[in-house]
Chain A
């Protein structure tokens, strides 16, 4: 059951990616609608997969790399669908859905068997901490997509080479706005994830903060986004600068999430 749902999810995301990329080539209304429905379908099946796994395992299924990547993809698809609804920018999907698909494909590279929960993780903080963290990651992933689109569109406008893609991409204003909204959504979530992690750490290991690589990198990520938010609010870091920071921030985040797990050992190494 679980495996079938996962394969269905993968296929639906693949179809959605193809549909969104087709929309990028030929922006027809019908194609946009199809894309959205297929992606929504993928999201729903994916959510069912996650809930099914939760029931089967008896814990929040974000405890190893397969589960984490899968949940990351689910969160991005969900956050993206909300943004598409709000800003009616279907073309953003052409940049975000391939990312979702890649992450899901990546998750197949890690063992997916349900195993008994590591005693250290047996806590109600597991759900709070991980779900918050991945929702914030998802918001930053959408910001990353919007930032890439911003830089492309900005390049067209500055260089005065207005090709077909220029016509299709949204205005700089909308892209910058999406970037900002993602930031104001993602940053509090990330903050909360770090705080809840610290509280959990205190109850599990008796110390709030032990500077293990994951904690350190989380803090670095937090600082990057804090700087971006601060810059936006006070000195008007908007547009190109904000887009670059959203991209840099996302790479730091990816390193915090994957790099630390794969290349460094520490207290978080089981994820």
Chain B
């Protein structure tokens, strides 16, 4: 049995193409059932997100299976295969395992390390499990992919740092204030960036919002949106001491906040720290404000540098993640190959033979008055019993070897007779995590 993957992603196809062949998340039953109705496609899972559409399947016929999956993808969405073909990638065997492990671990994502993709694959697998289109191979495969993704997340720092300017600002605020839940955000100017950053702060627990703007009406409008308080621009320095986090993005051509203003403000706050974020270009806040004690000033460039270094850190962590994945592929690939008939028959026979030999030796060594040809007879007897017992399962396995439910039998045999010793069992429980 072989695992195949056919699909396209943000790396190979434009959004126009991705849109055309995306599957509606609420209507997965029909395409899934159509897929396993296809000749030689034993199991199928469909992953469809805004950045990728992928079909995972288990099949006996690799080349034919992949061709059929491609045709299905085109036919189902009414897109000619020739149009689709240049954007599609297809993998089988080890490459397919590597691909899915990388996708699940978010190494193939637009923003490496973003956690959403794992949830999306879990949902996709959930549909396949619900409609019973995934079986023994894909079940194990996807559970393995989930556990690999989890291992990557716990053993590397791939997702531990913010990769957008707004989130970097929130992260910095957390390092200054710890808990943000009793912190007040002040917006100076009502620009779009400012608004976005303020939203991130509110989503991350910040409590109050104050808004000021040269035109008071705009400040009022924005304050209303945030359920905050509008402040007249002239009163800025009277009110500033109430703010912990200050976002500034006015269109001013010169600095509107200078160190001497902040000296006073911070004293009124009894030296409680303040975090200034200057989003404006040209800047609103004199960089020297950063020198005031317990005041931290970051401008757009600073934040972008933080993001860049975080991204670089992610890239380094991604290398570690690739190493983890390579380790895991080998293990899983061994399990897949173990599902072939011949090695299983060999393992089963040698297991029985071992047991027979051991028991026979025990008996013979303890049997003092054994007649002269006794040992020979016992040998023949036990060998005959083992052979007779092994004949039906061997025959059944060989017969079903040409197709059908082989994997199920092979896996059952391996489990029942504990044949895993030669081939490591893939990890990962059969429960869906999280």
Q: Does B178 contact A (CB under 8 A)?
A: yes
Given contacts A239-B271, A239-B294, contact A160 B176 (CB under 8 A): no
A240, CB-defined interface residue at 8 Å:
yes
Chain B residues positioned under 8 Å from A85 (CB to CB): none
User: In the complex the two chains form, is A171's CB within 8 Å of B175's CB?
Assistant: yes
Q: Please pick, from B161, B294, B305, the residue contacting A238 in the complex, using a CB distance under 8 A.
A: B294
Partner of A160 from B177, B294, B305 at Cβ < 8 Å: B305
A173 touches B179 (CB 8 A): yes
Q: Which of A153, A162, A235 has the most CB of B within 10 A?
A: A162
Contacting A158 at CB < 8 Å: which of B174, B178, B270, B296?
A: B296
A172 partner residues in chain B, CB cutoff 8 A: 175-178, 273
Contact indicator A171/B306 (Cβ below 8 Å): no
Does A241 make an interface contact (CB < 8 A)? yes
Contact of A204 with B by CB under 8 A: no
- Quick one: given A157-B296, A158-B290, A241-B293, are A236 and B174 in contact (CB under 8 Å)? no
In the assembled complex, B302 has its CB within 8 A of some CB on chain A: yes
List the B side residues contacting A170 at CB < 8 Å. 178
The CA-CA distance from A162 to B303 in the complex, in Å, is 11
What residue in chain B is nearest A160 (Cβ atoms)?
B302
Contact of B174 among A171, A237, A238 (CB under 8 A): A171
Q: Which residues of B contact A235 (CB under 8 A)?
A: 270-271
List A contacts of B177 (CB < 8 A): 171-173
Contact of B272 with A by CB under 8 A: yes
Q: Which B residues from 158 to 178 make CB contacts under 8 A with A?
A: 160-161, 172, 174-178
A262 at the interface (CB under 8 A from B): no
Name the residue among B157, B269, B272, B294 with the largest chain A CB count within 10 angstroms. Answer: B294
Bound-complex Cα distance A223 to B305 (A): 44
Bound: A158/B161 CA distance, A: 19
Complex formed: what's the CA distance from A196 to B271 in Å?
A: 36
Cβ-defined contact, A162 with B306, below 8 A: yes
Residues of B within 8 A of A157 (CB): 172, 175-176, 296
Nearest Cβ on chain B to A198's Cβ, whole angstroms: 35
A238 B272 Cβ-Cβ under 8 A: yes
A111 to chain B, nearest CB (A): 47
Complex Cα distance, B160 from A170, in Å, reads 15
**Counting CB contacts under 8 A, is B309 at the interface?**
yes
Given contacts A162-B309, A172-B273, contact A167 B178 (CB under 8 A): no
Residues of A within 8 A of B270 (CB): 235-236, 238
A171: chain B residues within 8 A (beta carbon): 174-178
Q: Does B298 contact A (CB under 8 A)?
A: yes
User: Judging by beta carbons under 8 Å apart, are B293 and A236 in contact?
Assistant: no
Q: Does A192 contact B (CB under 8 A)?
A: no
Alpha-carbon separation in the docked complex, A252 to B273 (Å): 28
How would you classify the secondary structure of chain A's contact residues: helix, strand, loop or mixed? helix
Is the CB–CB distance between A238 and B271 below 8 Å? yes
Query: In the complex, A173 Cα to B272 Cα: how many Å?
Result: 10
A: contact size bracket: 20 to 34
Minimum CB–CB distance from A60 to chain B (whole Å) comes to: 40
CA distance A68 to B174 in the complex (A): 40
* Minimal beta-carbon separation of B354 from chain A (angstroms): 38
CA distance in complex: A238, B266 (Å): 12
Q: Inside 8 A of A240's CB, which chain B residues have their CB?
A: 293-294
Chain A CB within 10 A, most for which of B177, B272, B273, B296: B273
In angstroms, Cα B162 to Cα A167, docked, is 11
A131-161 CB contacts (< 8 Å) to partner B:
153, 157-158, 160
CB distance from B269 to the nearest CB of A (A): 7
Please indicate the chain A residues that have their CB under 8 angstroms from the CB of B157 in the complex: 167
Distance in angstroms from A89 CB to nearest chain B CB is 11
A57 within 8 A of B: no
Residues 100-111 of chain B: 1 if any A CB is under 8 Å from the residue's CB, otherwise 0? Answer: 000000000000
Q: A177 contacts which chain B residues (CB < 8 A)?
A: 178
Q: Quote the shortest CB–CB distance from A230 to chain B (angstroms).
A: 13
A239 touches B174 (CB 8 A): no
| Cβ of A208 under 8 Å from chain B | no
* Chain B residues positioned under 8 Å from A173 (CB to CB): 176-179, 273
Quick one: which of B127-176 are within 8 Å of A by CB? 157, 160-161, 172, 174-176
Q: Assess whether A174 is in contact with B178, with CB atoms less than 8 Å apart.
A: yes
Residues on the B chain within 8 Å of A255, using CB: none
CA distance A162 to B175 in the complex (A): 11
A166, CB-defined interface residue at 8 Å:
yes
Smallest CB-CB separation from B303: which chain A residue?
A160
Question: CA A167 – CA B306 in complex, angstroms?
Answer: 12
- B272 contacts across to A, CB distance below 8 A: 236, 238
- Contact bitstring B115-127, A, C-beta under 8 A = 1, else 0: 0000000000000
Do the beta carbons of B306 and A160 come within 8 Å of each other?
Answer: yes
A158 proximity list for chain B (CB < 8 A) = 290, 296
Chain B residues contacting A160 (CB-CB under 8 Å) are: 298, 302, 305-306
Using a CB–CB cutoff of 8 Å, the interface residues on chain B facing chain A are 157, 160-161, 172, 174-179, 267, 269-273, 290, 293-294, 296, 298, 302, 305-306, 309
Instruction: Beyond the given A160-B302, A172-B273, please list 19 additional residue pairs across the A-B interface where CB-CB is below 8 A.
Output: A157-B172, A157-B296, A158-B296, A160-B298, A160-B306, A167-B161, A171-B174, A172-B175, A172-B176, A172-B177, A172-B178, A173-B176, A173-B273, A236-B270, A237-B271, A238-B270, A238-B272, A239-B293, A240-B294
30 A–B pairs (Cβ distance < 8 Å), ordered by A: A153-B175, A157-B175, A158-B290, A160-B298, A160-B306, A162-B306, A167-B157, A167-B160, A167-B161, A171-B175, A171-B176, A171-B177, A171-B178, A172-B176, A172-B178, A172-B273, A173-B178, A173-B179, A173-B273, A174-B178, A235-B271, A236-B269, A236-B271, A238-B271, A238-B294, A239-B271, A239-B273, A239-B294, A240-B293, A241-B293
List 5 A-B pairs, minimum CB-CB distance, nearest first. Answer: A236-B270, A173-B178, A236-B271, A171-B178, A239-B294
Residues of chain A whose beta carbon lies under 8 Å from any beta carbon of chain B: 153, 157-158, 160, 162, 166-167, 170-174, 177, 235-241
